[in-house]
Amino acid sequence: MRAVIQRVTQAKVEVEGTTIGRIGSGLLVYLGVGQDDTEGDAQFMSDKLVNLRIFADEAGKMNRSVIDIGGGILLISNFTLHGDCRKGRRPSFDGAGEPKLAEGLYEKVAELIAASDVPVEKGSFGAHMHVESLNDGPVTFLLDSSRLF
């Protein structure tokens, strides 16, 4: 499972001109499920997302989590995170999870985040979405549950 994590002051997602998810301060997370991912990867990812200390404390150091600041998470499914661009000019998506697996694990991550008492908003799995955000910093991290990076 892979994620691009962006610290934001606000973010929203629209499908066909309708806003379906919106947060204030918190994390905008693009989440890609790989073909070999399991519920263990979902647990790892959700725990890391709610506890990652990337918000400033009183001294200006990254020492607070989304829980600590009372923020939310906007979770967007994104199979292209498993795109392989190393060969040729067109990405290969062989590493991406099949839609049934991917949707189930995407929903599991959202469920686990919510169980941590962090407000979570979601995009629409498999839909064409428009995502707007106001990055804070910018602060952006890559996370892989297989610890490849």
Confidence of residue 147 (pLDDT cuts 50, 70, 90): confident
Q: What is the pLDDT of residues 12-63, one digit of tens each?
A: 999 999 999 999 999 999 999 999 999 999 999 999 999 999 999 999 999 9
Q: What is the CATH number of the domain that holds 37?
A: 3.50.80.10
Please state, in angstroms and rounded to a whole number, the distance separating the CA atoms of residues 132 and 134: 7
In a domain, 94, yes or no: yes
User: Regarding beta strands 120-122 and 72-77, do their DSSP bridges make them parallel or antiparallel, or are they unpaired?
Assistant: parallel
In a domain, 149, yes or no: no
pTM for the full predicted model: 0.97
Q: Note down the domain range covering 132.
A: 2-144
User: Regarding beta strands 72-77 and 26-32, do their DSSP bridges make them parallel or antiparallel, or are they unpaired?
Assistant: parallel
Mean pLDDT of 66-72: 98
In a domain, 17, yes or no: yes
Domain tally, the chain? 1
Token pair, residue 107, equals 């929903």
